[in-house]
Structure 1
Amino acid sequence: MENIFNLHQEELSEQGFTIVENIYTKDEVTQILKVIDNIDKSKATFRKSADLFAIRQFLKEVPATQSLIFNKNLTQLISQLFGQDFFVVKSIYFDKPETSNWYVPYHQDLTISVDKKVAIENFGPWTVKQNQFAVQPPIEILENIVTIRIHLDDTNENNGALRVIPKSHNQQIYRPEHIDWTKETETTCCVKQGGVMIMKPLILHSSSRTTNHQKRRVIHIEFSNIALPTALQWAEWMKVDVNQDIISTHK
């Protein structure tokens, strides 16, 4: 088992992503979706359109999912791949409907979510989405973040699976308009229901439109072990106790 974790850790470091299957059973996925289906979807942190339904600060807005998401498989994975000092700094639920034409071009995830806007050297530019502040931090903070994408549906090239450029996370800020397709290759990250994709946010990634009339529901959770400057706090903060399966939060 340790060798498997080592292989995933090496792949994440070298390629910028790795896929781990069977983190959740079909019944566990059903339980998570049942909780989501029963929530009040009218809150300000929820975004709903014909092409996308999204919940920002998902773990805080839908706390009943926390014990379901952080099962023993996931907490063991976090402990083995990241270490025991990493904590949640962002969580989003995405529902790409069966008829979605939502296309996302190649990009890197260059911002973090914070509690307020303050002038701090090397932090900027700033944006605001649904009353939530986001800022581009220094590169060492971005390089430290790791994202887990929990797949609640089978996801492939026909319903918006992520496409990535392997190893592009090693080039720090890599503008999409500068992609050299004579040197770069593209990989489609197909993940079965109950599996997870783990990625470095600096990897160039994109998502296509849905063509097979199948949903693509994903829970996106970002982790870090870096404290922000005193004047700032992460907009979300959740510590997962990988030994006792106890989740603690502040904010």
Structure 2
Amino acid sequence: MDLTGHRYNIAHNGFTVIEDIYTGAEVSAIINAIESVDRAGPLFRQTDDVFAIRQFLKAVPDAFPLIFNNRLKNVISNVFGDYYFAVKSIYFDKPGSSNWFVAWHQDLTISVDKKIDIAGYGPWTVKHNQFGVQPPIDILQDNFTIRIHLDDTDEGNGALKVLPGSHLKGIYRPENIDWQQETEVSCNVPAGGIMIMRPLLMHASNRTTNNKKRRVVHIEFSRAELVEGIDWAEKR
């Protein structure tokens, strides 16, 4: 697989889409692993609009070898190198009837194991007993996210909308978006494909309008060693 174009897309646009990382059988195996786990417990969240699993790789351990197949490992190694590790994982199951949408934002926080006052880290959040903090910007600039699509996803069922190149603008507040200069792009991904993105890429997603499901495994990667006193909450 020639990944030259994808490296260029990530560097200049902040994202890329790669199809056929998983076969239909592999997608079905991942779905089966998810559906076979007990949905009780604090890592599972169920509403009418979304079912989510936080710390997904911990909560669904059988999915780990299915997700990290040779094709995905080859993409990570060839695009980013060998020193990255997973630091956060979430599963989103957006039903076909969902009205859930996500407004324009950057992913500015990382998940860590404890909260302490450290220069350069802040503000802090706590969500579902998980500590989040905004780290120094160089960590965010170097991290990347892989979104694994288990369903065909387009504008009709909440594909991510992005502003290409916005990851190069530092901290970019939604209220400061210059719509005279920006052009939003829908990141349509077929089932078995992945979207790779930088966390500083400005992104959003719409409500579902076509009554089709959207199931995505979201995994964040880093190679940064955090300042002494805190560590990644999900490092593996």
**Structures share fold, TM-score greater than 0.5:** yes
- C-alpha displacement of 1:144: 1.0
SS in 2 for 1:158: helix
Tell me the equivalent position of 1:85.
83
Gaps of 5+ in 1: 239-251
Task: Describe the superposition over 1:163-218 as per-residue Cα deviations: whole angstroms up to 9, x where unpaired.
Answer: 00000000010001001111110000000000000000100000000011100000
Tell me the equivalent position of 1:195.
193
Tell me the equivalent position of 2:38.
40
Alpha-carbon distance between aligned partners in 1 of 2:101 and 2:9, rounded to the nearest angstrom: 27
- In the alignment, does 2:62 pair up with 1:64? yes
- In the alignment, does 2:121 pair up with 1:123? yes
Partner amino acid, structure 1, of 2:133: V
Task: Describe the superposition over 1:83-138 as per-residue Cα deviations: whole angstroms up to 9, x where unpaired.
Answer: 00100011100111111000101000000000010000011111111100000111
Alpha-carbon distance between aligned partners in 2 of 1:102 and 1:6, rounded to the nearest angstrom: 35
Gaps of 5+ in 2: none
Alpha-carbon distance between aligned partners in 2 of 1:166 and 1:208, rounded to the nearest angstrom: 17
Alpha-carbon distance between aligned partners in 2 of 1:179 and 1:10, rounded to the nearest angstrom: 24
- C-alpha displacement of 1:43: 1.2
Tell me the equivalent position of 2:97.
99
- In the alignment, does 2:232 pair up with 1:230? no
Tell me the equivalent position of 2:151.
153
2:71 pairs with one of 67, 73, 77 = 73
Tell me the equivalent position of 1:215.
213
Task: Describe the superposition over 1:68-95 as per-residue Cα deviations: whole angstroms up to 9, x where unpaired.
Answer: 0000100000100110010001110011
Alpha-carbon distance between aligned partners in 2 of 1:5 and 1:125, rounded to the nearest angstrom: 36
Alpha-carbon distance between aligned partners in 1 of 2:43 and 2:11, rounded to the nearest angstrom: 33
Tell me the equivalent position of 1:248.
none
Query: Paired residues, what number?
Result: 236
Partner amino acid, structure 2, of 1:237: K
Tell me the equivalent position of 1:134.
132
- C-alpha displacement of 1:6: 1.3
Alpha-carbon distance between aligned partners in 1 of 2:205 and 2:45, rounded to the nearest angstrom: 18
Alpha-carbon distance between aligned partners in 2 of 1:43 and 1:67, rounded to the nearest angstrom: 23
Partner amino acid, structure 1, of 2:138: E
Tell me the equivalent position of 2:174.
176
Alpha-carbon distance between aligned partners in 2 of 1:219 and 1:20, rounded to the nearest angstrom: 15
The CA RMSD over aligned residues, in Å, is 0.6
Identity %: 57
SS in 1 for 2:28: helix
TM-score (structure 2 length as normaliser): 0.99
Q: Runs of 4 or more off by more than 2 Å in structure 1?
A: none
2:108 pairs with one of 107, 110, 125 = 110
Alpha-carbon distance between aligned partners in 2 of 1:196 and 1:95, rounded to the nearest angstrom: 16
